[in-house]
């Protein structure tokens, strides 16, 4: 449960414009979709995917680091890491198991399959969309455990797009159609309060000193 008194206390340090901005952004946030990135070697691509999640309103991104350790490229992410939830996994099995336990269907994005075309994808189903490495695509484990497959229609000679480009196209399309649907896609009241608290803490300078003052009262 969120400490509402603590939230109120922290929000006293925010301007009215900042609080209003938080509320407006949160009305467009969703956990109906989540994104998973598997072993992407070039970490600037992971950061770019994270930026697309933030821009188009997907609250959570899941990063699997089974083969390549990586850090967020802050210049590429452009601060997105402050506003989205980042879940890190050491292996793909744990990631898939966790997402399925949350009620997500596993969707593998791949051009090498009889995949569902993007415009035909059913946005009403709670889905975790997986994106793979630049050269190899998704692992066999993801492909074998996927509940469905998704691809972007392409009419040129080139077989695939860069992962960050693919993710941006797909995320923009499915979130736009989701908001036009009758699905109850927005964050719950508890989730909204959690984000308000986290975002306030991420915004306030010297938050540790302010927290100490609050709890000492």
Separation of alpha carbons 111 and 44, rounded Å: 22
The H or E element that residue 59 is part of is none
161 annotated as ligand-binding: yes
Strand 127-131 versus strand 116-117 pairing type = unpaired
Radius of gyration of the chain (CA): 19
**Chain centroid to CA 121: how far?**
18
Q: Which of 69, 15, 61, 80 is nearest to 42 (CA)?
A: 69
92 annotated as ligand-binding: no
DSSP 190-205: HHHHHHHHHHHHHHST
DSSP letter assigned to residue 82? G
Say if CB 73 and CB 45 are below 8 A apart: no
Write down how long the chain is: 217
Separation of alpha carbons 73 and 24, rounded Å: 27
Binding-site entries: 109, 152, 161
Binding-site entries for S-adenosyl-L-methionine: 109, 152, 161
């Amino acid at each position: 449960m969120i400490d509402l008194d603590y939230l109120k206390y922290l929000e006293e340090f925010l301007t009215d414009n900042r609080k209003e901005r938080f509320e407006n952004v949160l009305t467009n946030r969703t956990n109906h979709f989540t994104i998973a990135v598997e072993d992407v070697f070039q970490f600037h691509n992971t950061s770019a995917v994270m930026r697309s999640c933030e821009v188009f309103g997907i609250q959570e991104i899941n990063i699997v680091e089974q083969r390549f350790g990586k850090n967020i490229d802050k210049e590429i992410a452009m601060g997105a890491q402050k506003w989205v939830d980042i879940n890190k996994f050491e292996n793909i099995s744990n990631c898939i198991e966790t997402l399925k336990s949350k009620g997500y269907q596993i969707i593998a994005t791949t051009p090498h399959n009889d995949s569902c075309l993007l415009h035909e994808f059913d946005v009403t189903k709670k889905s975790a969309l997986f994106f793979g490495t630049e050269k190899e695509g998704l692992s066999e484990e993801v492909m074998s455990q996927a509940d469905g497959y998704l691809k972007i229609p392409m009419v040129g000679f080139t077989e695939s797009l860069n992962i960050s480009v693919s993710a941006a196209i797909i995320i923009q399309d499915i979130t736009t159609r989701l908001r036009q649907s009758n699905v109850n896609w927005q964050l719950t009241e508890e989730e909204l309060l959690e984000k308000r608290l986290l975002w306030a803490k991420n915004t306030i300078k010297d938050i540790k000193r302010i927290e100490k003052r609050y709890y000492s009262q």
